[in-house]
Structure 1
Amino acid sequence: MTRTQSHGLWFFIIFTAVMMTGCQSPVGVTRVDSETVRHQLTKNVISSGETSPYTENVLRVTDLTEAYFDDPREALNTLHHIFLAEEQRKGPVAFALAELSFLYAHKTNQPTYYLAAALYAYLYLFPEDSSNHFNPFDPRVRIAADLYNRSLTTGFISKERSVMILQSGSYTLPFGTLQVALPENRLQWENRTLTNFIPVAELEVRGLHNRYRQAGIGVPLAADQIPLGQEEGLQIAKGKMPVTAFMRLPNLMEQLKKGTIQGDWEVYNAYDRRTVSIQGSDVPLEIEFTSSLAASLADDRVWARELKGFFMGDSLAGESGELIALEPYRPGRIPVVFVHGTASGSGRWADMTNDLMADPSVRDRFQFWFFTYDTGNPILYSAALLRETLQTTVSDLERKYQDPALQAMVVLGHSQGGLLSRLTAVETGNIFWDEVSNQPLDDIKVSDQTRDLLERMLFITPLPTVKRLIFIATPHHGSYVAGSWGAHQLAKFVKLPGRLMSGVTDLLSLNLDTLKLDLQGMNVGSVSAMEPGSPLAKGLAQTPLAPGVSGHSIIAVEGDGPMEDGNDGVVAYQSAHLEGMESEFIVRSGHSCQSNTHTIQEVRRILLLHALETCKTHGLCA
């Protein structure tokens, strides 16, 4: 080797060493930040508008990466044929087709590709070849379910995007035709027809603390209900019904090869069904109670009637209160009756209802009823309406169901509603009448109508169906606000029911020595009854709960001071405190504490206790 050659060799060795130390190897790893890792692991067409790494792998393996970029439609067609011919990797290819079809549909606004995405997602989730079943920990499972749900929603949504169109029909696919069947009877629930299906995934919920969703398969919807006839036994709320639409696609792989696919819509209401059977397995349905509840309460009339119900004595249903339920009667589930307070309404129970309905341990054991009444009326009058409405409802249901759950009722009331609740489970004898007159009622010369009204209001016997009471911020001994000058002035504007005013006029015609009360100019509405020292407060102070009835107090106290000296802005602790209760719970809150999470959790605790005890006493075990 010459000197020149030797110098050249050394130069090559040194140059190679320098290059190797200054450049990366063809294959290796690089540490990146956690945000980059999170994006790489979780990106998909639903969450970020980008295809997932799983789909990108399929495009590279099938050499379609550039083709999809240049001509997505042709690339999807090619991948579709690969999928039909492929025997070993159908799952990964089906997922890729679902994601790519969804992305193309989104970019081009072509519903036909949303429908295709739903079919591919269905094939990935429910493969007909058992050897292709997926790993349940694979993130593609949840993504595929979302692709199926969202694709059906968008593929069948109306042009104005307000409702989802559920009906039989024929629809074009990129590779054939989808024929959808939906018999009319699948849109009927009890004695109602379901219509106007709003996709709740596209609704933003306001006014409720929590939004609950059961993840699963299908499109969660809020449906209107059209009654087919008279309600039997229990009036059902007119609000939105939570339902889930599921399209069943039997033998889809074989149908896909032929190009004509038959799909069957199935519509399930969330109160009855939480799973659907697919290929012999129970699969959770996608369910949203919260959004349907919020959509129901979006009606301004629900809130306008609160003040109307305080000032106008005949605003609701004439001579009767109104008892409604969210769902038809369910045998074996214990009724829980919510009774709202003054100048309030059933909508104020929304957060509590939302949280309790989302808990299967509560929902599977209880059903919720709501009593609405005109809150300016005399409390004893409203309490009589509550008792009579419950008696009539239970009597009608007993004839049909003979259900022991009806004999284990829970009544729960806030503020004035707590007083009405208490008056379902006491034996008063002559206590209230003795505050009115020195003579027996039988000796009083009044009309039969007035006598009947007085008996209903003042001579109270406990309802045998009520077994537990829950009082929330209830002024058992009166409210200091009710005794204020402002409250007295406000009470003057309350219009009492015509029948009640007729009874008062009848009593005023009696000799003065017959009555203890001076009814001339006296305010007999609910506000005066809630004053400390009122005849109602004094009468209830002498009246314990009926034997066999359990009572619980939830008392609101504002601030951090001693509870014994505190109040909630309307009711003092000392007024809300009641001896003989099974439990007393303090929540640091203002008077309207129904939505307070501590209040709700205490109600939940009491209901589960009740369920446990009624399992032993009535055999009502879940």
Structure 2
Amino acid sequence: MSGYARAIALVLAMTLLLGGCSTPIGVRRLDPREAYRSSTASPLGGDGAGSSTVVILHRFNLTAEYQTDPAAAIRTLHARTLEDKRRDIVFALAELTYIEAERLTRSGDAAERHRAPDCFLLAAVYAYYAILKPDLQPAPSLFDRRLQAAIDLYNLSLWQGLKTGEEGGIELKHGIRRLPVGGIEIKVDHHRLPWDFSQFTRFEAADGYAIRGLSVRNRSDGLGVPLIAVRRSASENLFGSQAIPTTAFLRLEDDLARLGNGAMRATLELHSAYDNDTVAVDGQEVPLEKDTSITTAYKLAEEEIWSFGIDAFLGRLQDVPSRLYRFQPYEPDRIPVIFVHGTMSSPVWWAEMINTLSGDPVLGRRYQFWYFFYNSSRLITVSALDLRRAIAANIARFDPGRNSAAMQRMVVIGHSQGGLLAKLTAVDTGDRLVAATIAGKIEDLRTSNENKEMIRDNMVITPLPAVKRLIFISTPHRGSYLSLNFARNLVHRVITLPVGLVKGLGRIYGFLSDNVRHHWQGKIPTSVDTMSPTDPLLQAIAATPLAPGVKGHSIIAIDDPGIQPPAGDDGVVTYRSAHLDGMESEFIVRSGHSCQERPETIEEVRRILLEHLEER
């Protein structure tokens, strides 16, 4: 074939090629969802390397090597970044190392699986430098998708990198870790935790658990691995395992060149999620990743604690004392909020409210949450005495010199019967309760000084100076219409009162007025007796105003949305019984009696607590 003929043939071939279905370079239409997936592809989503990482491999002619020997390609790229200070190389290294760690995790070779945590830790190291290292160029931009991807890579890789314990458990210890491109010496810094490090039995990753039963999972975005720090069981913790939300943050103290020399230093810092929101790195405040809901759910995952309230009411838990428990470690600069449960209930029913309030960015920093557990079948004044003594004991323990201004601004929140106990922390009854129940003056009674003192402790009440505000939720100030004779008789048949209480009240029963003995039907009274609308003791408590300087708020449930106050009830307590004159506010929630979990109730409590912060 002549040269002319060959030229003609080539032109024809090119014409056929260009007339085909596609060209070597061109475009293809994408719908918006597909376009988004393409631009945000990440190994964390199982998509393989992102487009910017593919660019880096191509830039240094490593695409083929990465396909056949990814570890070698990572080493080559690592050597490059020691001289080339472009930030996108370190972004790529974080992704590629994470992908390699994932491959090792799935390997059928046990030796390779054993190396996976070290490879994950190296991915966290690269991600840390890509996010925070100031000498890399250009400076990180908030609008760079790779920045958020690197944050996620750091957090997830650090979690996986700490799983060197038995059966993949998290292990926090000093030592040297051998990474694929060098060594790193890690020192654990636990001085920020509220308890001694030796008291913790284990640490678990918060992201390793899903939460059920809580409406909101309180998380804040940042750097670090949210952990559940589980403390050795203590007598002062009744409900569930004692655990606090913690964040592990790996701080790198040297540049990448020291990693290759096996001398990079790092500190694994443990931060209580109740205290620290940020850490300072190279002059900038870096937010910590936190999860404060996980420990709430973790503590309450044990089935038996949900029956504590009923078991105590029925007398099955004779040896469980009334006590004030702290939901979190004590902080002198935070105002205590004390939750008091109602009849046949327990502190677990405050979980939704505590979880929501503790997750609030303002309230979570200014308040600490405590709860009071008691046997709700006992006479109201007996349980109220236990509450007052518990508050006083905690003040004496944590603030004996009265130096904490926060400790002197307590808020007590009570639901149902718990509201009656709350009121008895902040009233001056004088001889009002004695006159309503005892035939004569205490000093004139022909009985022992011990009995006189018992009557005085229960019936002559002075306000606790530290309690400054009360919130009553569905509280039967004038009794419950369910506490009539039939219900009271039924309760007496099914419950077993504590032996000590029976003996104590038995010693003074003869000094009760005829009216009271008639009402209590000659029996040792229970809380249900004293929540009867006709009970003389309850009537006297209802008539007693709050002490000067104490502010009160009422949250009253009315179940029927078509009924307006002063009519209506919540199925247990009428509006007229729950209403108190002289309150700072009164909020109506459309709900049944157990309204403490309702969003409207929680929002009203939040409003009141914010108001409390503004007042001095």
| Alpha-carbon spacing, 1:499–1:161, altered in 2? closer, same or farther (3 Å) | same
Question: Is 1:286 the counterpart of 2:289 in the alignment?
Answer: yes
Counting only pairs closer than 5 Å after superposition, residues 265-414 of structure 1 correspond to structure 2 as: 265-312=268-315, 315=318, 317-318=320-321, 321-400=322-401, 402-414=403-415
Aligned partners of 1:166 and 1:11: how far apart in 2? 72
Aligned partners of 1:361 and 1:275: how far apart in 2? 15
Equivalence for 2:133: 127
Deviation at 1:94, TM superposition (A): 0.9
Question: Is 1:604 the counterpart of 2:606 in the alignment?
Answer: yes
Aligned partners of 2:404 and 2:187: how far apart in 1? 38
| Alpha-carbon spacing, 1:399–1:233, altered in 2? closer, same or farther (3 Å) | farther
Unaligned 5+ segments in structure 1 are: 1-8, 615-622
Query: How many matched pairs?
Result: 599
Aligned partners of 1:582 and 1:399: how far apart in 2? 31
Aligned partners of 2:515 and 2:570: how far apart in 1? 40
Q: Is the 8 A contact 2:519 2:535 kept in 1?
A: no
Aligned partners of 1:125 and 1:158: how far apart in 2? 25
Q: CA RMSD in A?
A: 3.1
Deviation at 1:122, TM superposition (A): 1.2
TM-score when normalising by structure 2: 0.89
| Alpha-carbon spacing, 1:23–1:301, altered in 2? closer, same or farther (3 Å) | closer
Counting only pairs closer than 5 Å after superposition, residues 128-167 of structure 1 correspond to structure 2 as: 128-129=134-135, 131-158=137-164, 163-167=169-173
Q: Which amino acid aligns with 1:256?
A: L
Aligned partners of 1:13 and 1:504: how far apart in 2? 113
Equivalence for 2:94: 98
Aligned residue for 2:376, secondary structure, equals: coil
Equivalence for 1:6: none
Q: 1:194-229 deviations in whole A, cap 9, x for unaligned?
A: 3411110111111111001111111110112248xx
Question: Is 1:505 the counterpart of 2:511 in the alignment?
Answer: no
Deviation at 1:79, TM superposition (A): 2.1
Q: Which of 568, 571, 574 is equivalent to 2:573?
A: 571
Aligned partners of 1:280 and 1:154: how far apart in 2? 28
Aligned residue for 2:311, secondary structure, equals: helix
Q: Which amino acid aligns with 2:609?
A: L
Q: 1:163-184 deviations in whole A, cap 9, x for unaligned?
A: 4100012222111222222267
Deviation at 1:602, TM superposition (A): 0.5
Equivalence for 1:461: 462
Aligned partners of 2:521 and 2:594: how far apart in 1? 34
Aligned residue for 1:435, secondary structure, equals: helix
Equivalence for 1:548: 549
Q: Which range moved further: 204-213 or 388-397?
A: 388-397
Aligned residue for 1:360, secondary structure, equals: coil
Q: 1:406-430 deviations in whole A, cap 9, x for unaligned?
A: 2221111111111111111122222
Aligned partners of 1:344 and 1:507: how far apart in 2? 29
Q: Is the 8 A contact 1:313 1:374 kept in 2?
A: no
Counting only pairs closer than 5 Å after superposition, residues 411-490 of structure 1 correspond to structure 2 as: 411-483=412-484, 485-486=486-487, 488-490=489-491
Aligned partners of 1:183 and 1:424: how far apart in 2? 42
Question: Is 1:198 the counterpart of 2:170 in the alignment?
Answer: no
Equivalence for 1:39: 37
Equivalence for 1:169: 175
| Alpha-carbon spacing, 1:234–1:200, altered in 2? closer, same or farther (3 Å) | closer
Aligned partners of 1:356 and 1:113: how far apart in 2? 39
| Alpha-carbon spacing, 1:471–1:17, altered in 2? closer, same or farther (3 Å) | same
Q: Which amino acid aligns with 2:430?
A: G
Aligned residue for 1:492, secondary structure, equals: helix
Deviation at 1:577, TM superposition (A): 1.9
| Alpha-carbon spacing, 1:103–1:19, altered in 2? closer, same or farther (3 Å) | closer
Aligned partners of 1:59 and 1:601: how far apart in 2? 53
Equivalence for 1:179: 185
Q: 1:473-505 deviations in whole A, cap 9, x for unaligned?
A: 111111122226345313433222333212332
Q: 1:333-363 deviations in whole A, cap 9, x for unaligned?
A: 2221111111111121111111111112112
Counting only pairs closer than 5 Å after superposition, residues 14-25 of structure 1 correspond to structure 2 as: none
Deviation at 1:513, TM superposition (A): 6.5
Aligned residue for 2:468, secondary structure, equals: strand
Q: Is the 8 A contact 2:240 2:302 kept in 1?
A: no
Q: 1:387-422 deviations in whole A, cap 9, x for unaligned?
A: 122122223433245122222211111111111111
Q: Which amino acid aligns with 1:171?
A: R
| Alpha-carbon spacing, 1:29–1:289, altered in 2? closer, same or farther (3 Å) | same
Q: Is the 8 A contact 1:378 1:524 kept in 2?
A: yes
Equivalence for 1:220: 226
| Alpha-carbon spacing, 1:494–1:578, altered in 2? closer, same or farther (3 Å) | same
Q: Is the 8 A contact 1:215 1:287 kept in 2?
A: yes
Q: Is the 8 A contact 1:190 1:328 kept in 2?
A: no
Equivalence for 1:243: 246
Equivalence for 2:112: none
Deviation at 1:54, TM superposition (A): 1.8
Q: Is the 8 A contact 2:469 2:552 kept in 1?
A: yes
Q: Which amino acid aligns with 1:52?
A: G
Question: Is 1:76 the counterpart of 2:74 in the alignment?
Answer: yes
Q: Which range moved further: 75-84 or 481-490?
A: 481-490
Deviation at 1:556, TM superposition (A): 1.6
Aligned residue for 2:199, secondary structure, equals: strand
Q: Which amino acid aligns with 2:139?
A: H
Aligned partners of 2:177 and 2:413: how far apart in 1? 51
Equivalence for 1:530: 531
Q: 1:16-61 deviations in whole A, cap 9, x for unaligned?
A: 9998687556544443212102211222111344322221222222
Aligned partners of 1:291 and 1:497: how far apart in 2? 36
Aligned partners of 1:43 and 1:163: how far apart in 2? 30
Aligned residue for 2:74, secondary structure, equals: helix
Aligned partners of 2:96 and 2:507: how far apart in 1? 79
Q: Is the 8 A contact 2:239 2:299 kept in 1?
A: no
Q: Is the 8 A contact 1:128 1:253 kept in 2?
A: no
| Alpha-carbon spacing, 1:454–1:14, altered in 2? closer, same or farther (3 Å) | same
Aligned partners of 2:274 and 2:513: how far apart in 1? 58
Deviation at 1:93, TM superposition (A): 1.2
| Alpha-carbon spacing, 1:375–1:158, altered in 2? closer, same or farther (3 Å) | farther
Deviation at 1:131, TM superposition (A): 4.1
| Alpha-carbon spacing, 1:120–1:440, altered in 2? closer, same or farther (3 Å) | same
Aligned residue for 1:563, secondary structure, equals: coil
Aligned partners of 1:404 and 1:265: how far apart in 2? 34
